[in-house]
Amino acid sequence: MRLRKGPPDFLIILSTSLLLAIGIVMVFSSSAYSAMISYGDQFYFLKRQGIWTILGAMGLFSAMQLDYFLVRRYAKIFLIGAILLLLLVLVIGLESHGSRRSLGMGFLTFQPSEVIKLAMAIYLARSLSEAGDRLKDFRRGLLPRLIILGAVCGLILAQPDLGTTIAVAGTAYILLAAAGARVSHLIGLAIIGLVGVFVAIFTADYRMQRLLSFLNPYADPTDSGFQIIQSLLALGSGGLFGMGLGQGRQKLLYIPERHTDFIFAIIGEELGFIGASLVICLFLILLWRGLRVAVTAPDTYGSLLAVGLTCMIVFQAIINIGVVTGSMPITGITLPLISYGGSSLLFTLISIGLLLNISRYAGQR
Amino acid sequence: MQAKVEVKKRITFILLAMAAILLALNMRLAWIQFVRGDEYQQQALRNRMREVPLEAKRGAILDRNGRELAVSVSAPSVGVFPAEVKKSRQEHEIAAQLAAILGLPEDQVLRNITRNESFWWVKRKVTFEQGAQIKSLRLPGVQVVEETQRFYPNQTLAAHVLGIAGIDNQGLEGLELYYDKLLRGTPGNLVIEKDARGRDIPHARQGYIPPEDGLSLVLTIDETIQYIAERELDLLMQGPSSPKGATVIVMDPKTGDILALANRPTFDPNNFRNFPVANRRNIAVSDNYEPGSTFKIITAAAALEEGVVGLNERFYDPGYIKVGKETIKCWRTGRPHGSQSFVEAVQNSCNPVFVTVGLRMEDRRKGSFYDYIEGFGFGKVTGIDINGEAKGLLRPRDKLKQINLATISIGQGVAVTPIQLITAISAVANGGQLFQPRLVREVRDHNGQVVQRIDPAPVRQVVSKDTARQVSEILEMVVSRGTGTRAYIPGYRVGGKTGTAQKVEGGKYVAGKYVASFAGYAPVNDPRLAILVVVDEPQGIYYGGTVAAPIFKRILEDSLRYLGVPAQYNSEVKPDRDNNRVKEVLVPDVSQQAVVKAQAVIKASGLSPVVQGIGTVVADQIPKPGVRVQMGTQILLYAKEGQPSGEVVVPDLTGWRTREVATIMEALGLKMSSDGTGEAWEQDPVPGTVVKVGTTVRVLFGDGAMAEAISP
């Protein structure tokens, strides 16, 4: 079966480019002051983000060019490789803030959890497309896939990295829903998932702290509630038009993780409601076009892969913005395409490359 | 093989669900940015602003001519925001650096900079250099704040009047305490936007609530008269009589203005902790003492006003007087005064005569003597504007016996404060009107604008003008031919009365402990100055006429001359006690000149220069130019640094050599361009021209002959 390649989805390219552009500008704006203090170079983070963006663009074009059926063939190997990396990071990972998440050294570090996100999306898309109606059968369809998902989540949680666990589990759940799992199973899974989250929260003090500080950040404004309060103060200072690019004040070391997890707060402060809404809109466009790619994909595998890749990105954006706006407890997820972060950016762009790849076969059978 | 219909439905549902969540987040964003926006913005701003308290500048205290007696000079203080110090995680390094610069123990500094406080002073009022050094280090959380420190440029001068102020510039004693509310002002603050670690940031917002400077006081004190009084007290304390303590009050009898008030022992308010606390006691208003014969002025005034005695009425003094069972002796028991008129009895300070007239008043009208005593303000505070005033001891009327009245007539069995006595005597001097004594006559704001003028406060007419005049004339004779001759000044009409009282301790008179005093005023016909000198426990000779009168005389003489009160030779002039007529000279004008030059000029005129203060330029001189004084008189030169106005008067350089001219020019802040060698004979600008500091003065030098040839 030979399919003709059409043009890639223009709106996905446009919104991705805009988000990348906003990201580079805001990484610089939010990090310049602290980079000057810590490294004596206000361009420290900008330079690195620039290099990773170039690498990411190359990744995007490669992923867009190759035959995505080839990707399906190697899905299992890809997943096994990613799981091995997850095991490796537990042993020789670089320790930071009490957790081991990265491999490598110096500038060349990457997080295996970024690999597993992509590997899981690909694997589940293939596995679920092959399962077909068997998925409705709990023991033969759903359970084996849940076991693999559970094992992967367990490994990520062992780092520990609750944010990525939630991203992977959430994406998998959406994929199960898209692939046609029974509604009763989905509801049951949702309940189990929520219980799991609560167990995770009640078994780790810092997660409990995060939950409590989310419910009432002012109970401990200088410690556990500090991040969320500072984030709200930044957003609130922005108003409609913002304080102007570069004019934000909360980045003066008031907001922690200002160029990573909380970059959306700086966007809200400097670019106002208009700038922040633009970012949300671009993710909305990405969601719409990505799922449109899914609907128009030539086969179920392509369709589910498009759902997985799209929802992976948008789901993270939702959680990140939810945290920054104080709508949910802090989980430690970056804003895709915008936050500073090398391997995250690279794999997100590869994901979008794959999505664009699928979009080129839209409407064909 | 496109996706199945069911998958498409599910995907559509996922799209709608996630889009709904994104839109909900957008709504949440709108809520935060619009509805709660202002609140968050304010809170963020408050978060970033660090408040630094700014002290108000304490008002100055000036003498009646505007000379500075107490000023506030700026002094840097070092404070920390401990939260920021801790956040920087460099507390040990910061403590080490601060400790080294400030000379404090490191562990103490560390403890202070990590306190659980929002702000803490490490050390206040440090030197300018220390402040600048710490500022330049830009240590996180460390703030150098400009504060002000109280400075008393004349050290001990008028210490008891001025009092002291504490580290927070709060008045603790004296006028600093009494007028603290006016002097203090209102503190302000400075808020600066900082980063989260308390460092300065570019384009920081600043809020500034300026402190409202305190008001200044213009005193009734005259620095020069005060200086004269202090000088005399110093001489007394170092002299042979070396008493335990002493007090001088100089009052303007026509207004109740206190022109000088000095006590010994004294202290320097700049570093009062180096002196015993007892030295800070303001004897002049806080201590009661038995006035002795000086109180006879009051008895005489009361008796004459009540009409119980005539000036020329004859009395006979056998050397004592019997009152009931008691006998009161005259001070000259061995050689009784015998027959004398009332006027002569006052001159002789004869006890039996005063006892007689005192009791006579009581016989004529019960309680009349006491009415006058109270009328003159005894037994009550005078209301002088300073804290700690005592009210004297006056036996209550209902416990009054004959013998009490008899002893009170001669100033015993009654205790007064020096301020009460000088106030009462001023009433006699000015024609019978009692004033409330005062130390402050004006309140000014920091621009020098008068905010409040305090007028003299007459209390009551105690005796008639005629009676007052009669007492004054008798007191003049006390000085010209009675017990007070050591207070006599040729050419001036001086009235006064000596006093010598045995000290009372534990209700009994103590042998060998006396209080010698002299109270008087001049000129009698138009009194300008009333002076009380009280000497506590003089060694050796203890008579008021011997110990206190000469001090009174010197203070009075120098002050009258300083005030330019003309001598009157129409009264009976006695030859000067020294009996050698000295040449009089005209005081030259040396104000605004370099101190070195001024000293030379004064010496050249046959006078003796005394420099007060520190500086290069003469700000003022006493006596004023043009006054005629005896050769060898001391001329006070008040030196000051530079010229606040930036202007100087070009001095007359004629006759000085190049080196000397250069010194003078440098002292005045002028530049010189010289021409020729030898002595200066011409200059441009001419002497007396007012020029800006830094102006070049052209000076032509030449030898004497040439100078004469050109300008004969």
Helix axes A342-359, A112-131, angle to 10 degrees: 30
Distance from CA of B19 to the nearest CA of A (A): 6
Query: B151: domain range?
Result: 51-218
For residues A315 and B620, the model is more confident at: A315
- Which of B14, B25, B45 is nearest residue A178 as measured by Cβ atoms? B14
Minimum CA–CA partner of B4 in chain A: A300
Residues 31-90 of B with CB under 8 A from A: 32-34, 36-41, 43-45, 47-48
Question: Nearest 5 degrees, angle CA B135-CA B136-CA B142?
Answer: 40
Task: Say which residues have a Cβ less than 8 Å from residue B211's Cβ, sequence separation at least 6.
Answer: B54, B55, B56, B57, B185, B186, B187, B188
Q: Is the pLDDT of residue B1 over 60?
A: no
What chain B residue is nearest to A285 in terms of C-alpha separation? B19
Strands B696-702 and B679-684, how do they pair? antiparallel
CB contact under 8 A, B22 and A303: no
Better pLDDT: A239 or A107: A239
B172-200 CB burial, b ≥16 within 10 A, e <16: ebbbbbbbbebbbbeebebbbbbbbbbbe
Burial A316-354 (b: 16+ CB within 10 A, else e): bbbbbbbbbbbbbbbbbbbbbbbbbbbbbbbbbbbbbbb
Domain CATH for B539 = 3.40.710.10
For residues B369-392, average pLDDT: 92
- For residue B700, tell me if it sits in a domain: yes
pTM confidence score: 0.58
Nearest CA to B263 out of B274, B279, B252, B242 is that of B279
A232, A252, A304: residue with CB nearest B32: A232
Same domain, B187 and B55: yes
**B42 belongs to a structural domain:** no
Query: Mean pLDDT highest for which of B64-68, B338-342, B417-421, B695-699?
Result: B417-421
B99, B236: one domain: no
DSSP character at residue B594: B
For residues B490 and B621, state if they share a domain: no
Residue of B nearest to A271 (CA): B33
Tokens of B391: 């009210």
Among B25, B30, B39, select the one facing A321 at the smallest CB separation. B25
Quote the domain boundaries for residue A85. Answer: 10-359
| Count of domains observed in chain A | 1
Within-domain flag for A192: yes
The answer for residues whose C-beta is within 8 angstroms of residue B50's C-beta and 6 or more apart is B81, B143, B191, B192, B193, B194, B198
3-class DSSP assignment, residue B504: strand
Residue of A nearest to B13 (CA): A178
For residues B263 and B351, state if they share a domain. Answer: yes
Among the options B72, B216, B241, B293, which is catalytic? Answer: B293
Q: Is residue A2 part of a domain?
A: no
Q: Are residues B212 and B235 in the same domain?
A: no
Q: Across the strands, what pairs with B339?
A: B316
Beta-carbon separation of A315 and B18 below 8 A: yes
Give the gap in angstroms from C-alpha A177 to the nearest C-alpha of chain B. 7
Average pLDDT for residues B55-62, to the nearest whole number? 87
CA angle B188, B190, B194 (to 5 degrees): 160
B50 CA to chain A: closest CA distance, Å? Answer: 14
Q: Check whether residue B371 and residue B502 sit in a common domain.
A: yes
Q: Say if B609 falls within a structural domain.
A: yes
Residue B614 placed within a domain: yes
Residue B703 in domain: yes
Average pLDDT, chain B: 84
- DSSP class of residue B438? B
Q: With CB atoms and an 8 Å threshold, state whether B7 touches A303.
A: yes
pLDDT at position B469 is: 93
In this structure, is residue B568 part of a structural domain?
A: no
What does the alpha-carbon distance between residue A5 and residue B21 come to, in Å, rounded to a whole number?
Answer: 34
Looking at B291-393, list the stretches that DSSP marks H as alpha helix, in order from N- to C-terminal side.
296-306, 342-348, 351-364, 368-375
Residues B202, B256, single domain; the answer is: no
Does the distance separating the beta carbons of A236 and B39 come in below 8 Å?
yes
* Higher per-residue pLDDT: A283 or B661: A283
Cis preceding linkage at B240, omega within 30: no
- Choice between B549 and B117, residue whose per-residue pLDDT is larger: B549
Inter-chain residue contact B3 with A294, CB threshold 8 Å: yes
Report chain A residues whose CB lies below 8 A from the CB of B19.
284, 287-288
- Coil vs helix vs strand at B699: strand
Say if the Cβ atoms of A236 and B22 lie within 8 Å. no
% of chain B exceeding 70 in pLDDT: 93
Shortest CA distance from A361: residue in chain B: B2
CATH code of the domain in which B209 resides:
3.90.1310.10
Asked whether residue A134 is assigned to any structural domain, the reply reads yes
Residues B498 and B607 in one domain: no
State whether B209 and B251 are in the same domain. no
Does B599 lie in the same domain as B523?
no
- Judge contact between B544 and B517, C-beta under 8 A: yes
- Smallest CA–CA distance, residue B90 to chain A, in Å, is 15
SS3 category, A259:
coil
The C-alpha R_g of chain A, in whole angstroms, comes to: 20
The residue among B473 and B668 whose pLDDT is bigger is B473
SS3 A245: coil
Q: In this predicted structure, which of A123-127, A198-202, B429-433, B611-615 has the lowest mean pLDDT?
A: B611-615
Domain match, B605 and B527 both: no
Token representation of residue B355: 């006892």
B304 and B407 share one domain: yes
Q: What is the mean pLDDT of residues A126-153?
A: 86
Which residues from chain B sit within 8 angstroms of residue A217, using beta carbons? none
Q: Which pLDDT tens digit goes with each residue over A162-194?
A: 888 889 999 999 999 998 888 899 999 999 888
Domain count across chain B: 4
What are the tokens at B653? 């350089």
Share of chain A above pLDDT 70, in %: 96
**Minimal CA–CA distance to B36: which of A321, A243, A326?**
A326
In a domain, A4, yes or no: no
Q: Is residue B275 part of a domain?
A: no
Q: Is B118 on the interface with A (CB under 8 A)?
A: no
Give the one of A235, A252, A294 whose C-beta lies nearest to B195's C-beta: A252
Of A322, A315, A312, A318, the closest CA to residue A352 belongs to: A312
Summarize pLDDT for A309-338 with one digit per residue, the tens. 999 999 999 999 999 998 888 888 899 999
| More confident call, A38 vs B571 | A38
**Whether residue A259 has pLDDT greater than 90:** no
Count CA within 13 A, CB hemisphere, residue B687.
13
DSSP for A294-316, please give it.
HHH-SSHHHHHHHHHHHHHHHHH
- Residue B647 pLDDT > 70: no
Kindly tell me if the per-residue pLDDT of B81 is higher than 90: no
Residue B9 sits at the chain A interface (C-beta within 8 Å): no
Tell me which amino acid residue B484 is: G
Asked if A318 lies within 8 A of B22 by C-beta distance, the reply is yes
Q: Does B27 touch chain A (CB under 8 A)?
A: no
Reported ipTM: 0.93
- Give a yes or no: residue A31 inside a domain: yes
And the tokens for A301? 């595998």
Provide the Cα torsion B342, B423, B545, B282; round to 10°: 150
| Residue A106 pLDDT | 64
B88 is catalytic: no
* Residue at A214 is within a domain: yes
Do you know the residue count of chain A?
365
Chain B contact set for A272 (CB, 8 A): 33
Q: Is residue B571 part of a domain?
A: no
